[in-house]
Amino acid sequence: MDKESAEKRIKELREKTQYYANKYYDEDSPEISDFEYDMLMVELRNLEAEYPDLIDKDSLTQKVGGHVKEGFEKVEHEVPLQSLQDVFSIEDLRLFDARVRKETGREKIDYTVEAKIDGLSVALEYVEGKFVRGATRGNGQIGEDVTANLRTIKDIPKTLKENVNIIVRGEVFISKADFEKMNAEQEVLEEKTFANARNAAAGSLRQLDSKKTAKRPLDIYIFNVQRLENNPFNSHYEQLEYLEKIGFNVNPVKKKCIGIESAIKEIERIGTIRESLSFGTDGAVIKVDDLELREVLGTTFKTPRWAIAYKYPPERKETILKDIICQVGRTGAITPMAILEPIKLAGSTISKTTLHNEDFITSKDLKIGDHVIIQKAGDVIPEVVEVVKGKRTGEEKDFVMPDTCPVCGAPAVRENGEAVKRCIGIECSARKLRNIVHFASKAGMDIDGLGYAIIEQLVDKGLLNTISDIYYLKKDDIASLKKNGEKFATNLINAINASKNNSLDKLISALGIRHIGTKSAKILAKEYKSMDNLMNASEVSLSLIEDVGQITAKSVYEFFHQEQTIDLIEKLKKAGVNMEEAEDEEHDNRFAGKTFVLTGSLEKYTRDEASEIIEKFGGKTSGSVSKKTSYVLAGEEAGSKLTKAEELGVKVLTEAEFDEMIK
């Protein structure tokens, strides 16, 4: 490549890597895999090596990715938290060893090899054995003070077994099992799922409210001494043993190796067991063990010259796509799954994998009976990369997504703008956890005490199979869930009974009809006055209601004309759940004609609670700011909506001012 072309490509690569790094480090929302990002960085590093005069100090090859998030105090690291240079071949490891031996004059080097934990790097500072401060890596020089959040992690000792002054470096992570459980809960609660465990850990640790961090299953492994007062050690491995002795949770996958070939064997061994590890890892780190030799080797601005990270390459294998079956997720999403001729891939046997949706199948031109290439990069789910079309015989079969749910037989609907088909059966067994959780939530019947964890236990015990079962629970069933659970059971039974008297709009919202939220539910309740009237409404009459529209009308009509829905409503009626809208009373309409936009995090109210108050006083809420907006209610971390309000001269309310208005 000539210099002009190289300069153009370097510019493209810098823009791409900076964009993806911001998504990964700052927004905890990656858009490409780690391997794809690594390959871009390798290409950029190679071009800069070929044309060193084109190197720029702002290139990510010259600095650590990540910035300090607004809202956190800045911490200047006493010892920089550097990143490691990645290599992708065994030969690169031998070249690293050759350089180390040449620069130190040693014939053979002792190395410590450790599994590379996929998490967020932090520094922990102790004074006289007491934990006093913790910070994220940030840009390596300056990080974020997340002490309060780190104190919520049970495996970070608050007091060490010795009164030492020490700074250590560790990796905060979420285990594979906890990550799967957390994402399953996010899905049921209809909240955004996390792309991977690393970003889930980073997002959890960088919460401005430590109470939110405390709810996340964060863990930590320590892997380095940054500074130790009166350090008596000259071996990194001995330091790790000392850290364990004084109370730290140290990386369990570590080994001292004599010479590079021994280190390579350990790296290869970690590669074979990484599937079985409780935490995610996509590589291994090799470090010079002798601390004096580290001083000789030194560091660059970005990386130490005494350590390097080996990244395991994604493994690809060919197999046969034997069949495609459909699974129904907890939100009703129907996902096609590939049934494969079993193959050994990246340390585990793969016999099935997700095909995401029908668009994915179409884009890959997949047919049942095809020979396909499967890839697994790091610890992600195996994926079908491509079809080996040259091996087609003509006997392969096309796959067609079903029009009905394979579990309950209810209609399977794919709406405009969506990639997935969904079961809309209210009593579908595959959806029961999600349906029950939503029904009991604040946006539904608001049954105090009946949250996700309790519902999950009741479902697992077979005590809740449909929504209506809530109203037939026995006190003894609930009490058995907790030690000394009598009082809890009494309170929950009382809350369940109280919910029978909820307004009609609460019940409509609780049913989880697609496109119907709390606002639309109020409109329907006000229009039809009773559940029977709503169930008998035609699609045309529904579509003529202001703020409903054709798509929502179709969704409501189809929902109430399913046998499952009719059956559920009958059961709820028998249980004594209110099906009528209360007679209109005189209302305080102080916000009549006013439109509010909510932005940021409020301290006293959730968004739904604030919206409910506004609507109770005759006002409306909107998702966007315009000249017609009356007020913008702004909480912490208010973003672009606040900026637009200021530009348009719209009145901005603090939470305290809002409180005054609703007194």
| End-to-end C-alpha distance for the chain, whole angstroms | 71
Paired with 222 in beta bridges are 170, 250
> Parallel, antiparallel, or unpaired: how do β-strands 254-258 and 110-117 relate?
antiparallel
HSE-CB at 584 with a 13 A cutoff on CA atoms is 9
- 57, 63, 108, 116: the active-site residue: 116
- What is the full DSSP assignment across 117-159? E-SEEEEEEEETTEEEEEEE-TTSSEEEB-HHHHTT-TTS-SB
Nearest to 300 by CA among 99, 109, 120: 99
What sign for the dihedral angle of Cα 29, 32, 36, 42?
negative
Q: Please name the residues in contact with 597: beta carbons below 8 A apart, sequence gap of 6 or more.
A: 621, 622, 623, 624, 625, 629, 631, 632, 633, 641, 645, 650
Is the Cβ–Cβ distance between 410 and 429 less than 8 Å? no
Who contacts 298 (Cβ-Cβ below 8 Å, separation ≥6)? 305
Question: Which residues are CB-contacts of 396 (< 8 A; sequence separation ≥ 6)?
Answer: 367, 368, 369, 370
Give me the half-sphere count of Cα atoms (radius 13 Å) on the Cβ side of residue 547. 14
CA distances from 114 to 80, 138, 224, 266, 621 (A): 20, 23, 11, 9, 53
In angstroms, the CA 470 to CA 449 distance is 12
Q: Is 116 a catalytic residue?
A: yes
d(CA 349, CA 170): 32
136 phi/psi in degrees, rounded to 5: -75, 165
- Reduced DSSP (H G I as helix, E B as strand, rest coil) percent helix, strand, coil of the chain, to 5: 40, 20, 40
CB count in 10 Å sphere of residue 485: 15
Distance, CA of 550 to CA of 62 (rounded, Å): 55
Strand partners, 633: 598, 653
Catalytic positions are 116
